[in-house]
Structure 1
Amino acid sequence: MLNADGSGALKQIVYTVDGTTKQTGSVKLPWRQSITVPADGKAHQWTLEISYSGSGANSIELYSVFDGKESVHTGAAGSGSGNTELSSSVGGTVQG
C-alpha cells in the first residue's frame, strides 16, 4: 500500500508499479492506494510522486506498507507567508 499523510491537500499524485503509471488530480490527505504485485519471487519497481502548493507550515510524509512492514521514505514540508510550491518522490523495489 502506498500512503501520503500530513496536512493540506495535494495538487497531484502519480504512482508507477512495474512501468504502469496512474495519476490522480487534487486529493485531500490522508491518501492511500492498495497495489498488488505477483508472488513470483521477482523484484517489482514502484514510485510515488506528489505535487503540492499552499501557504503556512505543512508537512507531508510518504511511506509504503508491503507484507505488513512499514517503511517511511521521506517527509516534505512547506512554510512561509507566501505560496509554497513543493514536489517530492520516493520509490523502491519489493520482492514478489
Structure 2
Amino acid sequence: MVAAVLGAGLLTACGQTSPTTTPPPAEAAPAASSAPAQQEHRLEVEVTGTATLTSLAFTLDAEVSEETAVTLPWRKSVVVPYGAGRHEWTLTLQHTGGDMAATATVNGKLVTRTGGGGSAGSNNTAKLSGSFTD
C-alpha cells in the first residue's frame, strides 16, 4: 500500500497523472422474487428388509391408503404443492418374521427412520410419522 501511495505521488510530482477509467454502468439486478424457489415438497417413504408385511397404512393430511400382503422393498413418493401450510403423515406397518427398516425424507433430507424385527409367526407393529411446514 505504501508503494502505491509513493508511486502515485511520484506521478503527480512529474506532472503526469494516472489515467482514470469510468466503470461501465452496472446492469440492473433482477428484482428479488417473493415466490419461493421450490414450488413443491416431495415426501418419500421407503421400507426395506426381509419381514413379511401383512398390512401397511399410509396417511397424509387425513387421507388414508391401505395395502395388504406388501412385498419389500416398498416405496411411496408424494408431491405436495408449496404453500399449503402444515402437513402430517403416518406410516403404520404390521409385520411378521424377519427384519425391516423404514425411512422418510422430505425434499431429499432424512426426517425420520424406524426398524424392527420379529420371529416367524409373531405379529409386530412399527410406526413412522412426521410433519413438515412450508
Q: What's the TM-score bracket when you normalise by the shorter of the two chains?
A: 0.7 to 0.9
Aligned residue among 51, 55, 61 for 1:12: 55
* Corresponding residue pairs, total: 91
Moved over 6 A (4+): none
Instruction: State the match for 1:77 in structure 2.
Output: 117
Alignment of 1:10-89 (within 5 A): 10-40=53-83, 42-54=85-97, 58-79=98-119, 83-89=121-127
Q: Which runs of 5+ in 2 are unaligned?
A: 1-43
In structure 2, how many angstroms separate the alpha carbons of the residues matched to 1:44 and 1:8?
29
Contact kept in structure 2, 1:14 and 1:21, CA below 8 Å: yes
Structure with max Cα Rg: 2
Contact kept in structure 1, 2:46 and 2:75, CA below 8 Å: yes
TM-superposed CA distance for 1:8, in Å, is 2.8
Letter of the structure 2 residue corresponding to residue 11 of structure 1: T
Report the secondary structure of 1:21's partner residue: strand
In structure 2, how many angstroms separate the alpha carbons of the residues matched to 1:66 and 1:77?
25
CA RMSD for the aligned pairs? 1.5
Contact kept in structure 2, 1:61 and 1:72, CA below 8 Å: no
More strand by share: 1
TM-superposed CA distance for 1:73, in Å, is 1.9
Sequence identity, in percent? Answer: 26
